[in-house]
Amino acid sequence: MKTSSKFKTFLIIFLIAIFSIIAARHFIGLHFQKKFSTRPAPGVIVTEVKKSLFYKSIETFGTAIAQNSKTYRVKKDNIVGNLNIENRFVKKGEIIIALKDEKNIVADFEGKIGKREIAQGVLGSNSLIITLDDLKRIVIDIKVPENYVGVLKSGLKAEIINSAFNKTFKGKIESISSRIDPSTRSILARVIVDNSNFEIIPGQLMTVKIIYDEISEIGVPESAVTIQGNTAFVYIVKANTAEKKNIKMGKRNFGKVSVLSGINEGDMVISEGVSKVRNKSKVKIINP
């Protein structure tokens, strides 16, 4: 009888211990679940959806040529006084060089003058070649592949760059050839570039970008767009909550993507921190 009582007591204590362990694990689990499930909202950077210019382009190159240029050849011993040419600009009708025979060299147009020596030993090395260049506008003749003939037209904008300058020059197509060169399968076009600051020098090789199909559309940074298969989407923020929006993409320019549908101008789209965001999740905007 005593053995049976001891066994019952042991069984009760054992069951109480098991129940206590289970209960303790349950409440500890609830504590940690509550503590770690309430994570702070991820920080994101947002950008307002605005309209931007998007376009297609043709990139090629060409040599800079003065809009108007002329050369004059004179004898060195026929020049009166000192030769003043370095970085000199003259007006139309101004005397460039006074000569002893009084047949002075007069500028046919406004421009910058320079000189080109004739190498020693060459016949007539006593001569000097004077150049006059109208540099206000620069001409660049470019060759464009024939498959772009359908989009080329006079007046198209052009952006011109060269490694010597930390800037982009503006120009436009002035004329287009009426024939395609059968040997190169290209067509010749002439670009006129504004050079009113006289920065471009004739002879420089310039990279030319012809702009066409230009259109103003709303756009978002490329970093805001997530692509999964055939679907593209962004997250917009409303009341500190991220909302997933499927979009239809258009052209891409300068790190931006045009959006044809799915969001509206003025929406705030998440541009950085997208990987930490889920639909309908809370976010914290940390824009500077």
Contact in structure between 60 and 143 (CB atoms under 8 Å): yes
pLDDT of residue 117: 59
Say how far apart CA 53 and CA 216 lie, in whole Å.
Answer: 5
- CATH class (in words) of the domain with range 43-53+216-285: mainly beta
**List of long-range contacts for 72-75, beta carbons under 8 Å, 24+ apart:** 72/96, 72/97, 72/105, 72/129, 72/130, 72/131, 72/132, 73/127, 73/128, 73/129, 73/130, 74/99, 74/105, 74/127, 74/128, 74/130, 75/126, 75/127, 75/128
In the three-class reduction of DSSP (H, G, I as helix; E, B as strand; rest coil), residue 86 is classed as coil
Look at residue 34 in the predicted model and tell me its pLDDT: 58
- Tell me what pLDDT residue 139 has: 96
Q: Residues 258, 250: contact at Cβ < 8 Å?
A: yes
- Considering the segment(s) 69-134 as one domain, its CATH architecture is Beta Barrel (2.40)
Q: How far apart are CA 131 and CA 112, in angstroms?
A: 8
Q: Tell me, what's the pLDDT at 18? A: 78
The CA-atom distances, in angstroms, between 275 and each of 10, 237, 281, 282 are 56, 15, 12, 14
Domain ranges in the chain with CATH number 2.40.30.170: 56-62+137-215
DSSP H/E element including 93: none
Place of tokens 């053995």: 3
Indicate the pTM of the whole model. Answer: 0.68
The pLDDT, as a whole number, for residue 1 is 47
Tokens 């047949």 — which residue? Answer: 103
Chain centroid to CA 200:
21
pLDDT in tens, the chain (288 residues): 456 676 677 677 777 777 778 877 776 766 656 554 556 888 888 999 999 889 999 999 999 999 998 888 888 777 887 777 777 888 998 888 888 887 888 888 898 988 775 544 544 567 788 889 999 999 999 999 999 999 999 999 999 999 999 999 999 999 999 999 999 999 999 999 999 889 999 999 999 999 999 989 999 999 999 998 889 999 999 999 999 999 999 888 888 999 999 999 999 999 998 888 899 988 888 876
Q: Please tell me the CATH code under which domain 56-62+137-215 is placed.
A: 2.40.30.170
**Residue 62: how many CB atoms within 10 A of its CB?**
20
